[in-house]
Every structure is written in C-alpha cells, then in structure tokens.
C-alpha cells in the first residue's frame, strides 16, 4: 500500500501496534477503515451481528454484505484496501469466557459497542486485565444536534469521544457517526504517535 502522502513517520510508527476493535458497526467499521488507510497493519475485530440493510445509512458496508456476518465482511473490505493487513476475526459475542482471548496481544482497545451496559462491561474487563493500557470509547453519536459538543474527554487511560449526551433513541446519520468514528481513529493515532491527548 502506497502511503507516501501520509504525514511523515506515521505509517512506520502505527504498524508497530496491534489494536483490538470491539464492535464492527457504525463506529467500528469506519474506525477500522480509517486506521488501515493510515497504515495500521494489525487489527483484532469482534462482532457477532450480521449486516442489516438499515445499517447501510452509517456503517462501512454495502448491499452485497447484507445478511452476512459483520466482522468477516469488514475483514474482506479491509483486505481490499491493504491485502497485507493482519486480521484476527472474532465472529462471536464477547463474554467473560472469551474476552481474554480476544484481548490477547492487543496494545490497546477501541470500544465501538451500541449499548451502555455492554460498553461498561467491556471497559471494566479491559481495565482489570490491562490497567495501564489505553481504551478509546464512543459516547454520544446520535441525532443531528450537539455538533459543537463533540470532543475527546480523557479520564486516566480512558478516552471518551463524542458529545457525551445524545441518546440512541434519536436515531443515527452517517455524518455524525463518521465524525465520532474519525475522532476515535485520530485519538488512536495520537496515542500510537506518543502525542498528548487532552
């Protein structure tokens, strides 16, 4: 993959990392595509859902992916971008008995789940196993308002990206979901580059 137009030094640095992405929907699919285009070559992808047609308004999938499992479908898309990308694909629900296997070897976690309870469970498990490793999360991606409130909030090793208040009942549109996904991806890049994330 020709990354000659990248910011100098980024591809060389980010390819050293293995990143776990939990959730391959609106956030996770867009984050993964962005990271591979940045030069990340090692990803762990987990999702147990299938692509639905109603996902296509915000997720990086196509009509041909409908009814197919999300994580293998996303892996196929990423390999079209960079055939050399190294992917660990988990087409299963993350639970206490398998989450350690999914996390194994990851330098940090990007959380991209839908439900608040699942987010909290995942962050708790990660923090128990890897208290010194970062986790990047999405919080507040729904609706069309609160654009000016989208930002990164850092609490210890936890990076919360989004408006922090919108509710899923408002519905989702591609621009806002993509903005938060790219904020998560950029936060991940800054962590890998050793930049300060406030």
Domain that holds residue 69: 10-193
Per-residue pLDDT tens over the stretch 71-115: 999 999 999 999 999 999 999 999 999 999 999 999 999 999 988
In a domain, 41, yes or no: yes
Share of the chain above pLDDT 90, in %: 83
pLDDT at position 165 is 87
Q: How many domains does the chain fold into?
A: 1
- CB-CB neighbours of 117 under 10 Å: 9
In a domain, 92, yes or no: yes
pLDDT at position 198 is 59
Q: From CA 139, how far away is CA 164, in angstroms rounded?
A: 5
User: Residue 122 contacts by C-beta under 8 Å, 6 or more apart in sequence?
Assistant: 22, 94, 99, 109, 111, 113
In a domain, 2, yes or no: no
In a domain, 4, yes or no: no
Share the mean pLDDT of the chain.
Answer: 94
Counting as low any pLDDT under 70, the low residues of the chain are: 146, 196-198
pTM for the structure as a whole? 0.95
- CATH code, 93: 3.40.50.720
Q: Which residues pair with 161 in a beta bridge?
A: 138, 152
């Amino acid at each position: 993959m020709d990354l000659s137009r990248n910011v100098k030094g980024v591809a060389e640095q980010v390819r050293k990392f293995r990143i776990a992405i939990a959730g391959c929907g609106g956030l996770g699919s867009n984050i993964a595509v962005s990271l591979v285009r940045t030069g990340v070559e090692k990803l762990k992808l987990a999702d147990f859902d299938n692509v639905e047609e109603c996902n296509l308004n915000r997720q990086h999938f196509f009509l041909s992916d409908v009814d197919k499992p999300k994580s293998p479908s996303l892996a196929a898309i990423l390999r079209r971008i960079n055939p050399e990308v190294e992917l660990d694909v988990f087409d299963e629900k993350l639970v206490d008995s398998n989450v350690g296997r999914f996390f194994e070897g990851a330098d940090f976690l990007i959380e991209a789940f839908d439900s608040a309870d699942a987010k909290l469970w995942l962050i708790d498990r990660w923090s128990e196993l890897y208290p010194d490793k970062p986790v990047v999360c999405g919080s507040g991606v729904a609706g069309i308002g609160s654009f000016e409130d989208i930002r990164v909030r850092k609490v210890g090793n936890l990076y919360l990206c989004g408006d922090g208040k919108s509710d899923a009942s408002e519905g989702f549109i591609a621009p806002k979901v993509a903005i938060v996904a790219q904020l998560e991806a950029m936060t991940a890049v800054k962590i890998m580059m050793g930049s300060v994330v406030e």
